[in-house]
Every structure is written in structure tokens, then in C-alpha cells.
Amino acid sequence: MKTKPTTPLISLDRLEVLSSELRPHAPQWADRLAQARSKQELLNLVCHLFNLSYLVTPRKSPALKTEALCAQITLYISKNLHRGLTLKVLANFLGYSEKYCSDLFHRIMGESFSGYVRQQKVERASFLLTTTGQTLAEIATALGFSDQFAFSHFFKRATGHTPIGFRTQQGRRLHRQPVHSPQR
């Protein structure tokens, strides 16, 4: 019966490189790794090192996690505003329960989910009304409304102006030039 030649678990050169990379972080473990003489001893050391990896892995501060989550939520809502977002949809996206997501959203964003989405829709609608020639039906679709009448009702309730009135008023402001008195 032939036996298969055994290949080393790790080459000596690679072991030296690992030891030198580990030395600045944990010199005692680098020495132990360099002195490993058997496969089992090396495996045990590697297992211990993996268990200690949390000591050398930089941890994110809670503020950074909050900023990242805030950015993730903001981007998700911005990209999906046309889909008729609900708290349940956001909770599924984040992997949280609706209740936890609601509390988290309020804590991170400083307002309720529905209030935030409403404000985003008003801002996007205002932008589209003043910078594009899109019809009300097109804007309604872009914001996830079932039709232009639902959009018009929403916009009037939120701003006090109809979308057409808002567009007209903003158009006048943009085209109005300041009057200068002649200089003497």
C-alpha cells in the first residue's frame, strides 16, 4: 500500500512572514507561532489566535455605526421613494422588527418614519415641479402615488398649494428680475 506524501500545513517561509506580521501586535504569540514544531501545536496556536483576533480588530464606535445606518436608511428611502415605502418594507430591508425599526428610526433620524418620508416626497415633488416639465401624472408616478389626484391632494395638504399653483408661483419667482434704478 502506497502512502501519500504529506505536504506541510504551512511553509516555513510563510510561517516566518506570519510571525513577523503578528510581532507588532502580539510579540508573545509571534514567538509561540515561530516555535511551533508539530502540526497539532500549529493548529492549536492558530485557533487561539483566531479567538484573540477581536483584540487587534479595530471596533467601530457607536457614532460611526449610527452615521453609517443613517446614510444607509437615507439612501434606501431616496432610491425607493417611488415604491410606496412603508415601515414594514424598511424593517425587512434592515432585518429588524417593525417596532424596533420604528424606535430606531426615530432615535437616529429625529422624526417619525412617516414624517420623514412625507418630507422627502414634498422636497422631491417641489424639485420636479420647478426644474422639469413633467406632467403631474409623471411626478405622481415618480413619487409612488396611485394617480395625479392623490398626489395633488397630498401636495396641497403638505404645502398649502396645489402642484400647478406651486409650479406657477415658483416659475414667476425664477423669471422675475430685480429692477434697478438708473444711476445718475
Tens of pLDDT, residue by residue over 77-120, are 999 999 989 999 999 999 999 999 999 999 999 999 999 999 99
Mean pLDDT, range 135-159, rounded to an integer: 96
Domain ranges of the chain: 12-56, 62-175
Split at pLDDT 50, 70, 90, the class of 184 is very low
Domain 62-175, architecture per CATH: Orthogonal Bundle (1.10)
DSSP string, 63-104: HHHHHHHHHHHHHHHHHHGGG---HHHHHHHHT--HHHHHHH
